[in-house]
Amino acid sequence: MVLIGCLFCSSVIWGEEHFNLIDTPTAGILGYGEYNLNFRIYEQGSVLSRAIFGVIDRFNFGFYFDVEQVIGRQSARGRPPQVFIKFRMFNGLGFFPAAAIGYDGQGYGVYNEESDEYSEREDGIYLVFSKEMIIPGLELDVGCNIYEFENATIDDDVYLFAGASYNVKNKVVFLTEYDNINTSTDNRFNIGLRVFMSPDFSVELSGKSLGKESDETERIVRINFVDSF
Q: Give CA–CA dist 107/214, Å, rounded.
A: 20
Q: What is the mean pLDDT of residues 74-97?
A: 90
User: CA 4 → CA 8, 134, 141, distances in Å?
Assistant: 6, 11, 13
Report pTM: 0.86
- Cα torsion through 228, 21, 149, 82, rounded to 10: 40
CATH of the domain at 25: 2.40.160.40
DSSP class per residue in 186-226: T-EEEEEEEEEEETTEEEEEEEESTTS-TTT-EEEEEEEEE
CB distance 224 to 30 below 8 Å: no
For 172, the domain range is: 2-228
- What pLDDT shows up at residue 214? 65
Containing H/E element for 174?
strand 172-181
Task: Decide if pLDDT at 2 tops 50.
Answer: no
Nearest CA-CA partner of 82 in 117, 32, 119 = 117
The helices-and-strands tally (H runs, E runs) of the chain is: 2, 15
Contacts of 73 (CB under 8 A, 6+ apart): none
127 vs 43 pLDDT, higher one: 127
SS3 91: coil
Q: Give the chain's mean pLDDT.
A: 86
User: CA 126 → CA 3, 86, 185, 197, distances in Å?
Assistant: 25, 9, 21, 31
* First-residue to last-residue Cα distance in the chain: 44
- What pLDDT shows up at residue 67? 92
- What pLDDT shows up at residue 29? 92
DSSP 93: B
- What pLDDT shows up at residue 109? 85
- Give pLDDT tens digits for 162-209: 999 999 988 999 999 999 998 767 789 999 999 999 989 999 999 998
- What pLDDT shows up at residue 54? 94
Q: Work out how many domains the chain is built from and give that number.
A: 1
119 vs 21 pLDDT, higher one: 21
Q: What is the mean pLDDT of residues 24-50?
A: 92
